[in-house]
Amino acid sequence: MTPPKSSSLSNLVVWHGQPTGVFPPGEHVYPADLGVAKELLAALHTDFDETYLVSTSMLGSDHPDPWPFRLAGLRAFLQNHASRLDEVLGCPAVVANTREHGRHLVARLRAIGAPKVIVDHQEAELARVSSGQWKPAIDIAELVPDVLGTASVVNVESRTTHGWGLAVEADIGNLILLAASCCVLPGAVEEGESGGDGLEWTSLIEIDREEVSVPAGFVRVRPGVYPDVVEALEFAEGSAGLLLVTVP
C-alpha cells in the first residue's frame, strides 16, 4: 500500500511562540513558487555575508544590550510575505499539531515527576493554545541569534592550543525553513519520487561568500546552517517550480 503523500505542514508546531518541525523529516519535494524561491535566495546571499569580529575580551561578560544579527534580507523577505506566513501558521493542521504536542508534553512531564513549576508552565501554554481564540503567531525577532551569545560558545584557550581558528557560525536554519515555507504553494503535497528527476537544482543554503580573516584577539561570527537542522534546501524549475527539503 502506498503511503499518503506528505504535506509540508504535517509536522509544524508553534509552542511558546517557537516553531519546530517546519518541514517533516526526510527528503521531500514540493510544488513551489519559483519567483518567491529566487527572492529568498537573494535575501540569503545578503545575510550569509553578515560578519562580526568580537573581541575575546568581551567573551563571558555581560553586554548592556542585546546584539542580534541584522539578517536584513530574511527580515525583509518575511515582512514582504507576511500574509503567506500567516496562512502557513494558521493552517488547521498546525493548530492540531500544536495542541497534540502540548498534551503529550504535559503527560510526559507528569509521568517523569517533573517539578510542579515546570508542569504548571507547560499546562498554562496548553490551556492557551487549546482556546478557541488562539492563533499560532511567531515573533521573528525572537528567532534571530545574538552575536555575543554566539561568540561566547568559543573556547578560546582550547582552540588556540590546537591551532584552530576562532570562528563560529550562528545557526539560522530554522528561520530559513520558516521562510522557505512561504515558497511552497498553498495546500501543496509532495511530488512523487520522480518529481525532481533530471532537473538542475540551486541550493538556498550552500552559498559562496567572501572570506574574512580573523585578526588576533577576535572571534569571527557569521550566520550559518547546521546539518542537524537542515541537510539540503534547493529549488528547481520544472513544469512548475519545485522545492526540495531534506531534514534529519
Residues 6+ apart with CB under 8 A from 107: none
pTM above 0.75, yes or no: yes
pLDDT of 141 reads 92
- Taking 80 as the threshold, does the pLDDT of residue 239 lie above it? no
- Taking 80 as the threshold, does the pLDDT of residue 186 lie above it? no
- The three cell numbers of residue 185 are 504553494
Between 17 and 159, the more confident residue is 17
3-class DSSP state of 223: strand
Rg, Å, the chain Cα set: 20
Model confidence at 213, pLDDT cuts 50, 70, 90, reads confident
Encode pLDDT of 113-165 as tens digits. 999 999 999 999 999 999 999 999 999 999 999 999 999 999 988 888 887 88
3-class DSSP state of 163: coil
Between 215 and 196, the more confident residue is 215
Task: Round to whole Å and give the CA distance between 162 and 35.
Answer: 46
Between 196 and 237, the more confident residue is 237
How wide is the angle at C-alpha 53 spanned by C-alphas 50 and 57, nearest 5°? Answer: 150
pLDDT of 218 reads 94
- Taking 60 as the threshold, does the pLDDT of residue 217 lie above it? yes
Range from 125-129, 152-156, 206-210, 221-225 carrying the lowest mean pLDDT? 206-210
Task: Round to whole Å and give the CA distance between 10 and 94.
Answer: 7
Which DSSP category does 199 fall into?
Answer: P
pLDDT of 193 reads 56
In sequence order, which ranges of 154-224 are alpha helices (DSSP H)? 156-162, 173-180
Model confidence at 1, pLDDT cuts 50, 70, 90, reads very low
- Rounded mean pLDDT of 49-62? 88
Range from 119-128, 161-170, 193-202 carrying the lowest mean pLDDT? 193-202
- Residue 34, H or E segment: helix 34-47
* DSSP code string of 96-119: HHHHHHHHHHHHHHHHTT--HHHH
- Residue 219, H or E segment: strand 218-224
Query: What percent of the chain shows pLDDT beyond 90?
Result: 73
- Rounded mean pLDDT of 11-19? 95
Task: Round to whole Å and give the CA distance between 164 and 158.
Answer: 8
- Taking 90 as the threshold, does the pLDDT of residue 172 lie above it? yes
Return the number of other C-beta atoms located less than 10 Å from residue 91's C-beta: 20
Contact in structure between 246 and 215 (CB atoms under 8 Å): no
Model confidence at 199, pLDDT cuts 50, 70, 90, reads confident
- The three cell numbers of residue 234 are 534547493
